[in-house]
Amino acid sequence: MSRRRVLFVTARAPYPLDTGAKIRTWHILSGYADRYDVDVLHFSDPGVDEKWAAAAKTIGVRSVYGVDNPAMNHPVTLAQFATAVLKGLPVSSVKYIRKDFSKRFMAMAAQGYDIVHVDTIHLAGELATLKPLSTPPLTIINAHNVECQIAGRMRDLESSLPHKMALSIHARNMARFEGRAFALADMILAVSEEDRDRIDAMARVPGKAILVENGVDENYYTPGMAQEIDPNSLVFVGSMDWLPNVDGVKWFVSEILPLTRLRRPQTRLTIVGRSPHADVAALHSPEHGVMVTGTVDDVRPYVRTASVVVVPLRFGGGTRLKILEAFAMKKAVVSTSLGAEGIQCQNGKHLCIENESEAFAQACLNLMRDDGERHDLGENGHTLALVRYSWTAVIRRMHEAASNRLKTDR
């Protein structure tokens, strides 16, 4: 019996694995390739296409097709912004609307795939073209976040009235856009229970969203030795061009770190992550205890050395891979409640959750001083990561959900 076939559609190739979104996409793609014959369609990126194609073969992807998109790596233009406003679209979606990509998608989809997986919400409109097919495939969207929620949280933190109004319009348009996309799909992969319930409400179909959380590679993110730890070192890890991360480290450096250094002057924060935003780069000040590394080949040495991993996020969505990776490495974590959103963890057992500057600083100080508490949090987090959040367990749940839908729908 021949294997089922999957058309995997994504805006960017999930390579190199330098963002949380790429890591999630890569592991989901790997999960499909283990079980099905998989073809990938995406927009080309000359800087990574050759290495990406080679990497895709190593996990069993059958073929890769790239479509040119000159707009991909450039900011939204005034013309694109005007188009979004006139059409009532979220600004972030306009650069993905390409007739040549749609033509390629329709030509490939007509070849009779069992599953069409769309890994970028901005491309989900392509699913509308599948309805006339005599045997429509099972259609799946991977929802990395609920984007309209992120826009709404950004709006709520914004102090500038013009910016707040612009974010309100963007959040409204994104909610409409996502609602239409979710309605088109047969199944949506949600990263948290909160997102699952929100997506079902937006799609107006209970049970359409399936919980497939972010995971962690427990064979890569392994614990270090106790003697490696610098008791005065804090670390933040993340893509430093993502606005929730930018806001989080700015808040930490301006309001939390000074309180920590007032009581423990040797305290240092290391901000580790690719493509630092100008506001993040400006935070680099070793004399004030702040180091910004920029892109590094391996984040693990920075995490292993740190006494505490901090996740001071005030908006965003989905679940934080940085917390799961820290858990796998047996690290103590201090996070806001939003930073830990979507992870089935307990405050005081797996990590410390604090939302105010003073309490957040005090939690960091307590853990820097208390080896025993750091050890207990690290052990409990490690157990949770292995039992609930290994990629093997996560992908197994995805396969079970897809198999059930295929049996029902085909």
Contacts of 404 (CB under 8 A, 6+ apart): none
What Å distances lie between residue 62 and 8, 21, 49, 275, 332, CA to CA?
11, 22, 15, 32, 41
Same-domain status, 207 and 255: no
**Residues 198-236 pLDDT 10s:** 999 999 999 999 999 999 999 999 998 877 899 999 999
Domain count of the fold of the chain: 2
* pLDDT at 370 exceeding the cut of 80: yes
Please indicate, yes or no, if residue 207 is contained in any of the structural domains.
Answer: yes
3-class secondary-structure state, position 319:
coil
* pLDDT at 30 exceeding the cut of 90: yes
Please indicate, yes or no, if residue 220 is contained in any of the structural domains.
Answer: no
pLDDT score, position 135: 85
CATH number at residue 339: 3.40.50.2000
C-alpha to C-alpha distance for 325 and 320, rounded to whole angstroms: 9
Same-domain status, 103 and 194: yes
Same-domain status, 384 and 242: yes
Same-domain status, 130 and 277: no
Tell me how far the alpha carbon of residue 274 is from its chain's centroid: 14
Same-domain status, 258 and 160: no
Same-domain status, 355 and 253: yes
Please indicate, yes or no, if residue 46 is contained in any of the structural domains.
Answer: yes
Closest-CA residue to 151 (of 136, 172, 182): 172
The mean-pLDDT minimum among 129-138, 184-193, 288-297, 325-334 falls in 129-138
pLDDT score, position 318: 60
Same-domain status, 28 and 87: yes
The mean-pLDDT minimum among 45-59, 97-111, 395-409 falls in 395-409
Same-domain status, 46 and 153: yes
Same-domain status, 23 and 39: yes
Same-domain status, 276 and 172: no
Please indicate, yes or no, if residue 133 is contained in any of the structural domains.
Answer: yes
Please indicate, yes or no, if residue 157 is contained in any of the structural domains.
Answer: yes
Q: How confident is the model at residue 317 (pLDDT cuts 50, 70, 90)?
A: low
Host domain of residue 142: 5-215+391-409
**Residues 45-56 pLDDT 10s:** 888 989 999 999
* pLDDT at 319 exceeding the cut of 80: no
Contacts of 408 (CB under 8 A, 6+ apart): none
Amino acid at 107: A
Same-domain status, 319 and 334: yes
Partnered with residue 234 across adjacent β-strands are 269, 308
Same-domain status, 238 and 358: yes
**Do residues 275 and 292 make contact, with C-beta atoms less than 8 angstroms apart?**
no
**Residues 122-165 pLDDT 10s:** 999 999 989 778 788 999 999 998 989 888 888 888 888 888 88
Is pTM, for the whole model, over 0.85?
Answer: no
C-alpha to C-alpha distance for 49 and 15, rounded to whole angstroms: 9
